Amino acid sequence: MPKVVDPVERRREVVDALFRVVVRDGLQRASLRTVAAEARLNIGSLRHYFATQEELMRFAMTSMIERVSERLLAAVEEAGDLAALSAEERLELAVRLLGELLPLDGRRRAEVTVFLDFATASRTDPALRDLAGRVAVGTRAFVGRVLERLEAGGALRRGLRLDVETERLSALVDGLGMNAVLHPELVSGQDCLDVVRAHLGALAA
Amino acid sequence: MPKVVDPVERRREVVDALFRVVVRDGLQRASLRTVAAEARLNIGSLRHYFATQEELMRFAMTSMIERVSERLLAAVEEAGDLAALSAEERLELAVRLLGELLPLDGRRRAEVTVFLDFATASRTDPALRDLAGRVAVGTRAFVGRVLERLEAGGALRRGLRLDVETERLSALVDGLGMNAVLHPELVSGQDCLDVVRAHLGALAA
DNA sequence: AACAAACTATCACAAGCGTGATATAAAAGT
DNA sequence: ACTTTTATATCACGCTTGTGATAGTTTGTT
């Protein structure tokens, strides 16, 4: 006999509702009441699962981190070995991996949007600082790993300082995502891909 | 005989107070009351100069745009002709110009911080959208001009698509600034310079 | 059937917000 | 000297916020 309400599922629904509110109206307008309304829940019910606002926000950001890192891990997994690939294929693979961090479809656009709002909020909100730090460290690790793989496969120019290149590519991806989210009429998803391709191409040439 | 209060000066003081609040506590906490307190003004006085909150915010963002663009213009002016410079000097000059958009000292750090908060807010605040768009277009124009100058001086590799490179460098600078402001323990001002130097160096090599 | 746990639903409170209205004080213009 | 802007200062209203407290309802267990 299935439980009438699955608390895990409920929390997921609430977090999804929070994300929708953040994407639509910004983190600023994501109050307990608006999130509850979006989730079609009574505030009392919502507070049964999240006692305080801080708890909800931290849980939401943690969920987002888990989702994205799972997807990144899966993408790296699926990428598999790159020994059998041509130089061009390797670069294209790297583009696809980095593209997981760019707003190339609705889901990723929502993720980058939420990430941006959370990240800026974390600057002055102590309750979110450590999580934002984890995100920053995580993306650097991911980007660094992509570069390492390319280097190990001999797909990169020699003489590159990988720490600098990691910082460079991380900033590039973050900046592209931010600009594409904030100014979609100026920077499209295709533009993001073009830029990343140009960048990786330059690292290889 | 000097006027007892110079309204222009008063507005500047209020805007400075607003910026201090934004840097310290975030745009979210910059209410009419907190800004008035920071400016050591009564809220009634503040509202004599800015009737509504929207008026204050738009005026503040406009002021920031003017200040920064004046400084950029002055920097380009001071840069002068680059015909007489060596290739290395030209790149270093470009680094200094782009560095005006990076948090390399207190003033620029404050500017980038305020810019970041305003930009993210503008995504969902119709009152700020057009101004954010102007900022985005303006920085692209500035970055593009730097690249054009370098190209005209023969300091760049041939075969570069300048539109893509403009987008790439703009995103890089924005991303660097954002990361340096949000994660100063991860990205220092020196790191920003290293990355920009590496980037321009790669465009030249 | 009885009990405990989980869940849903309201109410109330203090705090902060933007803003309209208004009153007093100071300066400028005539 | 008188009047008119300009500036400073309060009060009040309606609204939203997070949160504590509490009651009712449903579900699962004994």
Separation between Cα atoms, residue A93 and residue A85, nearest integer Å: 9
pLDDT tens digits, one per residue of B159-197: 999 999 999 999 999 999 999 999 999 999 999 999 999
**Cβ pair A120:B24 closer than 8 A:** no
**Residue to substitute from B161, B178, B190, B192, interface A, most A β-carbons within 10 A:** B178
**DSSP letters spanning chain A:** ---SS-HHHHHHHHHHHHHHHHHHH-GGG--HHHHHHHTT--HHHHHHH-SSHHHHHHHHHHHHHHHHHHHHHHHHHHH---TTS-HHHHHHHHHHHHHTTS--SHHHHHHHHHHHHHHHHHTT-HHHHHHHHHHHHHHHHHHHHHHHHHHHTT-S-TT--HHHHHHHHHHHHHHHHHHHHH-TTTS-HHHHHHHHHHHHHHHH-
The CA–CA distances, whole Å, from B172 to A29, A62, A98, A200, B125 equal 30, 27, 15, 14, 25
State the best of A124, A137, A162 to mutate against chain B, taking most chain B CBs within 10 Å. Answer: A124
Chain A environment of B144 (Cβ under 8 Å): none
- Contact residues, chain A, for B191 at CB < 8 Å: 167
Please give the share of chain B, as a percent, with pLDDT higher than 90: 87
Nearest to A191 among B24, B123, B167 (CB): B167
Distance CA B103, CA B189 (A): 6
**Residue A53 CB lies within 7 Å of the nucleic strand C:** no
Tally of CB atoms within 10 A around B164: 15
As a whole number of angstroms, the distance between CA A28 and CA A50 comes to 18
The distance (Å) linking the CA of A18 with the C1' of C15 is 24
Total length of chain A: 205
Q: What is the pLDDT of residue B80?
A: 74
Quote the mean pLDDT of chain B.
Answer: 94
Nearest C-alpha in A relative to B140: A186
Q: Measured from the CB, is B145 under 7 Å from any atom of strand C?
A: no
Please give the Cα distance from A75 to A135 (Å, whole number). 18
Strand D positions closer than 7 A to protein CB: 6-11, 16-23, 26-28
Which of A:48-67 have CB within 8 Å of B?
A: none
Residue type at A187 in one-letter notation: V
Q: What is the average pLDDT value for chain A, to the nearest integer?
A: 94
Residue B198: closest CA among B38, B118, B91: B91
Using alpha carbons, select from A12, A22, A34 the residue that is nearest to residue A114.
A22
The answer to whether the C-beta of B4 is closer than 7 A to strand C is yes
pLDDT of residue B1: 39
Lookup: tokens for A31 = 């109050």
pTM, to two decimals: 0.95
Q: How far is CA B89 from the centre of its chain?
A: 24
B34-48: pLDDT as tens digits: 999 999 999 999 999
Q: How far is the CA of B190 from the C1' of C24 (A)?
A: 55
Q: B11 CA to chain A: closest CA distance, Å?
A: 26
For helices A189-204 and B189-204, the axis angle rounded to 10 degrees is 70
pLDDT digits (tens, 9 = 90+) for A59-113: 999 999 999 999 999 998 888 777 788 888 999 999 999 999 999 999 999 999 9
Q: How many residues does chain B have?
A: 205
Q: Which residue is closest to B171 within chain A, CA to CA? A: A175
Give me the mean pLDDT over the B6-14 stretch.
90
B166, B182, B188: best mutation site toward chain A, by most A Cβ within 10 Å?
Answer: B182
- Is residue A147 within 8 Å of residue A156, measured between CB atoms? yes
Query: For residue A121, what are the CA distances in angstroms to A38, A80, B28, B107, B135?
Result: 21, 36, 9, 21, 21
pLDDT > 80? residue B82? no
Burial of A47 (0-12, 13-18, 19+ CB in 10 A): middle
Looking at the complex, report in whole angstroms how far the Cα of residue B13 sits from the nearest Cα belonging to chain A: 23
